[in-house]
Amino acid sequence: MDLQLANRVAVVTGGSKGIGLAIVRTLLEEGVRVVAASRKSSAELEALADDALTHVEADLMDPEAPARVMERAAEVYGGLDILVNNAGGPPPGVTLPRASFLDASDQEWRAVFEFNLFSAVRAIRAAIPLLRKRGGGTIINISSVNARQPSPLNVDYGAAKAGLNNLTKVLSSEFGPEGIRVNTISPGPVRTPWWTDDGGVVDIIASRTGTDRDDVIGALVPEMMKLTTGRVVEPTEIADMVALLASPRSANTTGAEFVIDSGLLKEL
């Protein structure tokens, strides 16, 4: 299927690893020119080096950073068609999952909201004028099933992502008549560095349960979370949905949430 994405311009936040890296790679394969924003690059991102890829070092918790990223896209590639707000998870100094709601301080709540919600708000604010100049475009917000599955283990993160879901609906309604589509993808557990890096979620669960880390990701997590498919999500599965939602073939899809969670959410 031709997704008709060739020569379009995208900004992907958190684009150096995990889901963001997979999104960057998939969009490049579809002929998109991509600006990947992250605090620092990675060997995997550098391996994709191409005239169609620009990396911008940016701490998206800096209120001025999102606007600088959008300006760079306009400067290098002449505009913007697609914004993927992917940056998220625990910001520096915050460790998730927690043991209880009581473990999160005011400072940690603020940091989690800055990274998971306010950075997206600022990126969207800076992107809309560029999308308007193109006569429309698409914004894709990467949320989480935690937005709809409350948990004391990630209470601040879930609250921030719930805000992002609400924001998607508001933006879709306000800017849809101008041709700007806004949708949400809500992943479940995904095989990303947040889970698999040393000291990540897998190690935290392994230390609490006395389980081997390979068994945690391969068996314990699917069992604990009652994953229907029996396995965690791969980053490319999120990236494929991003590409479809970014495509003109999804021209009448807006204000929607797409859950890719291995069947974790069972409720209507």
CATH number at residue 254: 3.40.50.720
Q: 91 and 104 share a domain?
A: yes
Q: Is 77 a catalytic residue?
A: no
Q: What is the pLDDT along the chain (268 residues), one digit of tens a residue?
A: 899 999 999 999 999 999 999 999 999 999 999 999 999 999 999 999 999 999 999 999 999 999 999 999 999 999 999 999 999 999 999 988 888 999 999 999 999 999 999 999 999 999 999 999 999 999 999 999 999 998 888 999 999 999 999 999 999 999 999 999 999 999 999 999 888 888 888 888 888 888 888 888 899 889 989 999 999 999 999 999 999 999 999 999 999 999 999 999 998 7
Same domain, 225 and 238: no
Contact call for residues 154 and 147 (beta carbons, < 8 A): no
Of 180, 15, 152, 170, the C-alpha closest to 81 is: 180
Same domain, 217 and 157: no
Q: How many domains does the chain have?
A: 2
Residues 101 and 222 in one domain: no
pLDDT (tens digit, 9 = 90+) per residue, 225-236? Answer: 999 999 999 999
Choose, from 77, 115, 157, 195, the residue flagged as catalytic: 157
Q: Pick the closest to residue 16 from 235, 268, 245 (CA basis).
A: 235
Question: Does residue 268 sit within a domain?
Answer: no
Residue with tokens 């390979």: 214
Confidence at residue 212, expressed as pLDDT on a 0 to 100 scale = 85
Same domain, yes or no: 98 and 134: yes
pLDDT of residue 207: 87
Beta bridge pairs of residue 34: 10, 53
pLDDT of residue 229: 97
Domain range spanning residue 197?
Answer: 192-232
Same domain, 89 and 198: no
DSSP at 259: E
Dihedral, CA atoms, 203, 204, 205, 207, nearest 10 degrees? 80
103/51 Cα distance (integer angstroms) = 46
pTM for the full model? 0.95
Instruction: Supply the pLDDT for residue 124.
Output: 98
Grouping H, G, I as helix, E, B as strand and the rest as coil, residue 263 is coil
CA distance 147 to 75: 35
Tokens of 162: 């719930």
pLDDT value of position 201:
82
User: Are 198 and 114 part of one and the same domain?
Assistant: no
d(CA 228, CA 219): 12
Shared domain check, 93 and 51: yes
Residues 181 and 196 occupy one common structural domain? no
Res 116: pLDDT: 98
